[in-house]
Amino acid sequence: MIGGLMTSTLLTLIVVPVIFTYIDSFQHLVFGRLLKGAARRRVQDPLLGGEGD
């Protein structure tokens, strides 16, 4: 009974927040690169005269 209480406490207070932090960091990394690449393509688009506006 004590082991189950300790395991659930460990999972709730340490493991789950760490996993969410890793997922959030990965999400920022991926979307940051996608948005940066989209902005770069918009600026360098030859059909738009190279300005993107």
Token representation of residue 29: 């990394």
- The whole-chain average pLDDT of the chain stands at 80
What is the model's pLDDT at position 43? 61
Handedness of CA 30, 15, 12, 8 (dihedral sign): positive
Supply the pTM of this predicted model.
0.57
Task: Tell me the pLDDT tens digit for each residue of 33-52.
Answer: 877 777 776 666 566 665 54
What is the model's pLDDT at position 36? 78
> How far apart are the two ends of the chain, measured CA to CA in Å?
65
Task: Tell me the pLDDT tens digit for each residue of 10-38.
Answer: 999 999 999 999 999 999 988 888 777 77
What is the model's pLDDT at position 37? 73
